[in-house]
Amino acid sequence: MAVLLRSLVAMFLLVNPVLLWAASLDGTWKYERAADYYGRAGLDRLNHFDTVTIKGGEIKFTQGCTVQFEPEDYFFSEVFQPFAKGNVTEKQVDSFLSKKFGLTLSKTKIVYSLAGATNCSERVMEFFQIDDRIIVPIGATFYSYVKTAHEDSAAFASPTTLPLVAGYKISRLPTDFDRYLSACRLKILDARGHPRTTEKCAPDFFPYVADPKRNDTLMNIIGNHDYAANGQRYTEGFSPPFKQKVPATFLVFPPKGRVALIRVDDFDIVKNEERDVMSGVYLSIVNGKVVDQIYGCHFDMNYVCMLEGTPIAKLLDSGKIERLAPQ
C-alpha cells in the first residue's frame, strides 16, 4: 500500500511539475541590490522594480503588469549569449556572482522564462531562484531580490522575542541608507533641529532617540557606549552621548539569533561648526554588551555589510563582525 501511494504521488508530481516550484516561489520579493559584471556605475538604480510578486506561475512587476512564466532547462550559452560571444566563461560569471552575491549558478538546473516579450517588464526575460533569493539578469547586470517574511508591512514592525529589543519596532533589512537620509531624516527632526523618536518613516524605518530618563537597557547601552572604539571617526563632542548630552538616533534591525543589530546616527543639528558630526555606525550587542561595531558599509538581509555592491564584512552568530578580505 505504501509503495502504491508513493507511486501515485510521484506520478501526480510528474504531470503537475508546476507544484515542484510554485510553493517556494509564491510570495513578495523585495529588491536587494545590483552588480554589473563590467563594473559600470549607476546601474543599481536602473531597470529594477522595488518589489515583485509571484503567484501561480505569474510574476507581477507593477499594478497592471503581470506576466506569465514557466520553468525551462538552464543552459549558460542560451541565457547568457552576450557573455558566450564575448568569451566570458560560465566559471568567470560564477566567480563574479560568488564575490558580489555569495552564490553561484553552478548547480542550477532550471531558469524561469517570461512568456513572450512585454514592455511593462522592461528588459526582464528570465530569472533564477537560488536558495532564498531571486536573481534577475539583464544584459551584464544582475539584480537580487529577497523574499519578504510577511506581505503585511505591519509585520515588519512587530516586536522581536529577543529581550533586549522587545517592544521596539523593527526596521527593515537590507539598509537603504540613502533613502533613510533623504526621506526620513527631516521627519526625525523637530522645529529646533533636534531628532526625536517618530513613526513617520514607517514601514521601512522606525527611528528612536536614546533617552537617559527612560531607564531602558538598550538606550543605556547606546547612550553610554564609547564610539571612539575600533577607529570610529569624528566622535569628539558626541561620545558617549549621555555624557555629552547629545541625542543618539538609532534603528533596531531584525536580530541574528541572540545578536541585536543596531545602527546609531548623529543627526543633531550642529551650529557654527561647534563639533564634527559622527559617521553612522552599526553595533552588535550580545547579553547587554557591545561586542563589535562597523561603519562605512550597510547590512543586507544575510547580515553581510556591503559597500558599493562589494561584501566588506559579515555579522557572526557570536556578535563579532568579521572583516572580509578583498577578492
- Write down the pLDDT at residue 217: 96
- Write down the pLDDT at residue 157: 43
Among the residues of the chain, which ranges form H helices? 2-15, 19-25, 76-79, 81-85, 90-101, 177-179, 185-188, 217-224, 241-244
Q: Is the dihedral of CA 88, 91, 94, 95 positive or negative?
A: negative
Residues 166 and 84 reside in one and the same domain: no
> Which among 119, 147, 175 is the end of a domain?
147
Could you tell me the maximum CA-CA distance found in the chain, to the nearest angstrom?
Answer: 84
- Write down the pLDDT at residue 302: 86
Q: Quick check: pTM over 0.75?
A: no
> Which among 147, 165, 182 is the end of a domain?
147
- Write down the pLDDT at residue 269: 83
- Write down the pLDDT at residue 46: 55
Residues 160 and 305 reside in one and the same domain: yes
**Domain total for the chain?**
2
Please list the pLDDT of the chain residue by residue as tens digits (327 residues). 444 434 443 443 344 444 344 447 888 888 888 888 988 876 655 556 888 889 888 898 877 788 889 999 999 999 999 898 889 999 999 999 988 888 899 889 999 999 865 567 778 899 999 877 899 999 899 999 988 754 433 334 444 568 999 889 999 888 888 888 888 988 999 988 899 999 998 888 999 999 999 989 999 999 999 999 777 888 888 999 999 999 999 999 999 999 999 999 999 888 767 788 898 999 999 999 999 999 999 998 889 999 887 889 999 999 999 998 765
Residues 133 and 168 reside in one and the same domain: no
Residues 309 and 169 reside in one and the same domain: yes
Residues 171 and 106 reside in one and the same domain: no
Residues 268 and 133 reside in one and the same domain: no
- Write down the pLDDT at residue 45: 53
Residue 56: closest CA among 85, 32, 26: 26
- Write down the pLDDT at residue 11: 42
In this structure, what C-alpha cell is assigned to residue 86? 564575448
- In which domain, by residue range, is 130 found? 2-147
Judging by DSSP bridges, how do beta strands 141-147 and 27-36 pair with one another?
A: antiparallel
Q: CA 174, CA 98: separation in Å to the nearest integer?
A: 18
> Which among 104, 124, 147 is the end of a domain?
147
- The residue ranges of DSSP E strands in 269-317, in sequence order, are 281-286, 289-294, 298-299, 304-307, 310-315
